Structure 1
């Protein structure tokens, strides 16, 4: 499959399993030191029962295979952006951030773990600014995190 077979589209219920697969592979590859709060089955259930039905969820579909996901929450929250590890560094994350900015033109904010230096570089490159660091007491993983904010240039 070539990159030109790649489409960004709204997720449907039938994408939930593929979305969970990508999330699990991506989390394991990008965050090997972070202790997950939920097992694989709970992650799969969460995407099927909560994320896809209730949130604005987008997938990168490569010939029928989910290779990335973007989840936008209420207001300006960018809840999730995960890519299949084999798709990192190929411009897909850039496309997702551009989509998020189009969908939330008034601004975006997100949390990422402090250990995830590649994510920090990625978001800074896209104009996000670090505004807060915590000890992780507020997240399920109890892992120190960072909040980034993007505001449109007025």
Structure 2
């Protein structure tokens, strides 16, 4: 698992690999969170909605294919997932730097309260927790937290 990692906009052919990264990352990082959708529903959503209709970025590693996924909206970092074997290599840092570059006025995001590593990661990048919920507003019904970054 070595080689250069390139961040680029996702294309239709990346959909399956991006979905697999999402699934592996979610399961590894959030073992106690029950996903609201089946694996196949996630694959279809990424193929039919995320990649074609959202600002979707992937991290592609030489010899390993797609190892990361980031989805941006209007001042929203809506998804950031890394293949578990590729965490801790600076890819997430590069994704966040790109998100800030693409949204210089600021960003917000949601993460689950149980995801303490994500809290530390985003706080290290200047995000501040501004809202905590009981999870009634998300599909998983899992307590979450909204983070905001302002330059």
Band of TM-score, shorter chain:
over 0.9
1:63 is displaced (CA, Å) by 2.2
Q: What runs of 5+ residues in structure 1 fail to find an aligned partner?
A: none
Secondary structure at the aligned position of 2:89 is classed as coil
* Aligned residue number for residue 2 of structure 2: 2
Give me the whole-angstrom Cα distance separating, in 2, the residues matched to 1:62 and 1:13.
Answer: 18
Please tell me whether residue 66 in structure 1 is matched to residue 101 in structure 2.
no
CA separation in 2, counterparts of 1:137 and 1:50?
Answer: 24
TM-score w.r.t. the length of structure 2 is: 0.97
Matches within 5 A, 1:94-133: 94-133=93-132
**Pairs within 5 Å for 1:73-84:** 73=73, 75-84=74-83
Structure 1 residues 5-41: Cα deviation after superposition (integer angstroms, max 9, x where no partner): 2100000000000000000000000000000000000
Q: Secondary structure at the match of 1:100?
A: helix
- In structure 1, what is the equivalent of residue 134 of structure 2? 135
> RMSD value over aligned CA atoms?
0.9
Q: Deviations over 1:47-88 (max 9, x none)?
A: 000000110000000126000011001x21111000000011
| Post-superposition offset of 1:124 | 0.2
In 2: Cα distance, 1:77 partner to 1:95 partner: 16
Q: What is the alpha-carbon distance in structure 2 between the residues aligned to residue 139 and residue 53 of structure 1?
A: 23
Counterpart secondary structure, 1:138:
coil
The list of structure 1 runs, each at least 4 consecutive aligned residues, that deviate by more than 6 angstroms after superposition, is: none
Structure 1 residue 2 displacement after superposition: 2.7
Count matched residues. 150
